[in-house]
Amino acid sequence: MATPRVLILRAPGTNCDVETGYAFERVGAKVTAIHVNGLTEDPQAGRDFQILCFPGGFSYGDDIAAGRILAQRLQTHLRDLIEEFRSSDKLILGICNGFQIMMRLGVFFPGQEALPPATLTLNRQSRFEDRWVHLATDKNNCVFLKDIQQMYLPMAHAEGRFVIRDQQSKQSLVSQSQLGLRYSEAAGSVVDSTLPFPVNPNGADMNVAGISDPTGRIFGLMPHPERHIEAIQHPFWTRRTEQPQHGDGLAIFSNAVSYFS
């Protein structure tokens, strides 16, 4: 399939759907944004897509907890559709609030939804953080991270701290190559010990910025790749002696589309 179809799920409070759709279109995908109310009324409208994307924002105002209300709606009304993407040879991507929604859904931990090995919670400094961060990839199985070693992306969240339940859970996640995206120093080295603020902007265990499921087809991350797809979106672009062809985030979307070609 040369032109995969991308379903971008919107909800009250979603505000990154247009940028995310543009990023997918830049690499050759056909994008359709559907509001959750429309999809609830007609679940069949989501059947003919190859990629499901939960974009960033503040769905339902992040009431109760970030992503909680939309995740509950999906569990109640669209469970079969989510399971189809999860179990078929399709892809799911969640960015920031989308990652939070996916964590509440439990799609990363098959068979462990009732007692997941990890969660996302309030940043260690108990406040919203908005800054650019260096990222590096570790041993991973992720379709979206193929051939990516380092990235420099913006992040903006208050509940992005990845917390692992216990040592056994940590070993399981590492052994299944699920902790593929980490906050890092500019040099790009990956370490397991928690890096200081602001290198690790939220205090995440093992500096985790994004994770995949055991198959590598489901991926969520707290930073925003759709906000750095053009070279001129880099905060210091005017000071560079050489401009890259694209921003660092574009490769994530390109990898998703290439998976179907």
- Structural tokens at position 137: 């990839």
- DSSP string of 36-90, one letter each residue: HHHHHH-GGGGTT-SEEEE--B-GGGG-SSTTHHHHHHHHHHSHHHHHHHHHTT-
Please give the C-alpha separations between residue 130 and each of 27, 157, 160, 168, 259, in angstroms, as whole numbers: 27, 7, 11, 32, 31
Quick: pLDDT tens for 187-213. 999 999 999 999 999 999 999 999 999
The confidence score (pLDDT) of residue 114 equals 82
What is the CA angle 177-141-229, rounded to 5? 120
| Residue position matching structure tokens 């830049």 | 26
DSSP state of 199: T
200: closest CA among 128, 123, 121, 144?
Answer: 123
Range 125-136 average pLDDT: 97
Contact 108, 218 (CB under 8 A): yes
Query: What integer best gives the mean pLDDT of the chain?
Result: 96
Contact 231, 237 (CB under 8 A): yes
Q: Where are the domains of the chain?
A: 5-258
pLDDT band at 1 (very low <50, low <70, confident <90, very high): low
- Structural tokens at position 201: 């902007």
Strand partners, 154: 132
Residues 6+ apart with CB under 8 A from 150: 134, 135, 136, 137, 184, 188, 248
Mapped onto helix, strand or coil, the DSSP state of residue 105 is: helix
Residue 2 has pLDDT above 80, yes or no: no
Domain 5-258: what homologous superfamily? Class I glutamine amidotransferase (GATase) domain (3.40.50.880)
The confidence score (pLDDT) of residue 132 equals 98
Residue 217 has pLDDT above 90, yes or no: yes
Strand partners, 219: 93, 212
Quick: pLDDT tens for 75-118. 999 999 999 999 999 999 999 999 999 999 999 999 888 899 99
pTM: 0.96
Q: Which residues are catalytic?
A: 96, 224, 226
What whole-number distance in Å separates Cα of residue 135 and Cα of residue 98? 19
DSSP state of 112: -
